[in-house]
Structure 1
């Protein structure tokens, strides 16, 4: 720890109560994109505009200069230089899901033990405030800034990223930046992303076959692997079919219809190895079936040959491993079959060495062989920074000065605002061993994690933007 640590710590202790009050106000705003209330100045709806206004009020209270860019994004800045250091965070959140799965109200900041709970406390409201308070602490300690620092806050990170597109049409790129929307030590690599959907219209099966597929339903989302699946069959021998559905959590017989429910173990779609896909359980039962036709036969072939238990994309020819960034992941977030229309979502993450164009060619070949079509929902090329870069070395020094530990660089499958800039990486707030429940019920951040992150951000801004 360097000589400035005590100064940062004393100032943070002075602001601790105010920090908690500010965070409570931000968590209380359900800042989820709302298409119904979109209007000029609120392109993502009223709630996201409300949280921008709340953050503007906080900055005005503290005598910072802030600017709002048509409700897409805002920044808070300090310093007069033409050279800009950027800190990119976001104030929008994902939906809370089922409130019954939460220990506490997701929109009431709650301290329980060593943790703060609430939607957005880890992703990304508390980290945004951590960066803001770090800038505030340095200013109040009278450090002389030789570069302008901007805390840039977006409103559509969890959806379309229009916020950053709009913001950088009106503002110059920072010369260096970091995003407090990842992990410590330093995320110098983010895997490429290709999210999309396979689809096909399948003819109705012949009546001579004993078991026919009527419908498959799962939650149409892309952030997680498929956790729950509801499958409806029509069968000439419903009891016989029920005996085949060994992997189902529950089966219900209603005349000639059987409804089977499958349950998996929830995991982020970028980390399919950390959970169990409900589709894999269904596909095991499907593969055991004989005398199937039409949609059941189509699904059986697809899962047998390509999808079952393959979380790396090997069977589609998509697997690649990089010494520095690791290997590919491939997951299925949802499966739908309605009105004879088959829809299978996919989420592919890949290291450098692969490109979206190469991956699309592989998907084209797969679809051609199996008479499928596909559309792309979202795509990003991989992000990678060499450890010798000035940005990485400065972040390493800041981390070491505060923690006493030499930080390693890591690669993640996630998507941060780092991809919106030419010279930016994700940097905190989550430390190894933390379990923040990002995007899940009971999202949380450890108080010690939040305070240590603020210390590190103080030192980072000092190194990047001030004269010692």
Structure 2
């Protein structure tokens, strides 16, 4: 039976996984300014070169599509299955207990940026190809590993690739969790601004800054206040800390008081798993006895629109949900305020029931009434029926190798399959596993990645045999 051979093949392979993933983690593949021949900067290009070299070392034919995408082929036959992974990562942020770009193995968990999102799963897919090859499993069709380098920012890499290559008939991306994610919410990403004249009245907020990446909930945010002492601020900070769960550190710097808010960062698709330092800070600033000004008014307005702990857009008026995709989520992720205005961005993941009328138009109307200028980008949701034969094959294989019940679920995250008909996310994390992706101390279970590789091996055999 093939399952017995696959299980035997992957015995004692954990160290091989650790070594391969560690090599990729060591490459800081955060997107940077483009360079000649490197559309997303040196880091992503270096990670792609390393991954393709690793595949060559394993005896596979590879191709590099102008440092946008690389491919690894099992054979030269017609490609029937595509496995889409990415090698770029989000920035490391702060708060790590291990070096973010130096893999550390502790208690079966491999720590490092990209360990779970998505370098670890990419290695699991690569070793599945190797298992099929080494076991001599007969196939009628090719399976292809497709490695991108711009998933975290805009996925322009995969667009570039599919403009030049046809999509395989069946596609999955191990960029989520098992069993199968067949629904990906849509997106509403905004940039909003407002300007005013300088007010000299004290107390006043002279600056606020929090967040840097639209799909990462800020772990820290800071503000500078004039006209109040540390002693006056301390009891207010202590009270707000109790209600928000955030930590506030106060220091006097150059005649102002600096307030540093510390929360818990994470992925914008799951704001309920984080503690947004920015919204906690706005809660605090709204509680201060500031002099009346447009600046103070703006802080209070934003605090009403994005109150701390409102993960679902209730205050701004767009909360909604449906049975298949679940609730709309919203996270206020980037904000900068000066003496003369502000610029902010929020990231909302919208369910199947969302429309322009019940989401974007509502936000636009609220902002217009407050004199806030708005720019937005809307992405439609993605859904593949759980009854599709491909999904049923994936679920059957998952059940076969894990002994767990397979089912379909929705996510607020987006993967490469978002615009691919019939595509789904499949693995590589096990249900309920908290990887801390996009946050500090991101990690992956090596045992789970080995299991994922077994599952992928069987899927290749079933789909391409």
TM-score by length of 2: 0.91
Change (3 A) 1:24 1:301: closer
Residues of 2 paired with 1:308 and 1:354: CA distance? 23
Deviation at 1:300, TM superposition (A): 1.0
The answer to whether structure 1 residue 226 and structure 2 residue 210 are counterparts is no
- Corresponding position of 1:367: 367
Residues of 1 paired with 2:128 and 2:153: CA distance? 28
- Corresponding position of 1:463: 462
Change (3 A) 1:357 1:32: farther
Pick one of 29, 36, 43 that aligns with 2:39.
Answer: 43
The answer to whether structure 1 residue 172 and structure 2 residue 166 are counterparts is yes
The answer to whether structure 1 residue 342 and structure 2 residue 342 are counterparts is yes
- Corresponding position of 1:141: 135
Provide structure 2 residue ranges, at least 5 long, that are not aligned to the other structure: 242-247
Residues of 2 paired with 1:433 and 1:122: CA distance? 14
Instruction: Tell me the alpha carbon deviations over residues 443-465 of structure 1, each in whole angstroms, 9 at most, x when there is no partner.
Output: 21112111111111111111111
Aligned length: 457
Change (3 A) 1:250 1:447: closer
Tell me, yes or no, if the aligned pair for 1:179 and 1:425 is still in contact at 8 Å.
yes
- Corresponding position of 1:162: 156
- Corresponding position of 1:129: 123
Residue aligned with 1:111, SS: strand
Residues of 2 paired with 1:408 and 1:352: CA distance? 19
Residue aligned with 1:315, SS: coil
Residue aligned with 1:132, SS: helix
Alignment of 1:32-431 (within 5 A): 32-35=30-33, 38-40=35-37, 42-98=38-94, 101-205=95-199, 207=200, 209-235=201-227, 244-246=236-238, 247=240, 249-253=248-252, 257-289=256-288, 292-304=292-304, 307-355=307-355, 359-376=359-376, 379-431=378-430
Residues of 1 paired with 2:216 and 2:47: CA distance? 26
Residue aligned with 1:455, SS: helix
Pick one of 7, 11, 14 that aligns with 1:13.
Answer: 11
Change (3 A) 1:143 1:219: same
Deviation at 1:244, TM superposition (A): 4.5
Residues 379-388 or 276-285, more deviating: 276-285
Residues of 1 paired with 2:55 and 2:276: CA distance? 44
Residues of 2 paired with 1:239 and 1:18: CA distance? 56
Deviation at 1:71, TM superposition (A): 0.9
RMSD value over aligned CA atoms?
Answer: 2.4
Change (3 A) 1:450 1:344: same
Instruction: Tell me the alpha carbon deviations over residues 152-171 of structure 1, each in whole angstroms, 9 at most, x when there is no partner.
Output: 00011122212101101110
Deviation at 1:379, TM superposition (A): 4.0
Residues 188-197 or 320-329, more deviating: 188-197
Residues of 1 paired with 2:28 and 2:170: CA distance? 31
Change (3 A) 1:309 1:21: closer
Change (3 A) 1:273 1:102: closer
Residues of 1 paired with 2:129 and 2:182: CA distance? 23
Tell me, yes or no, if the aligned pair for 2:63 and 2:71 is still in contact at 8 Å.
yes
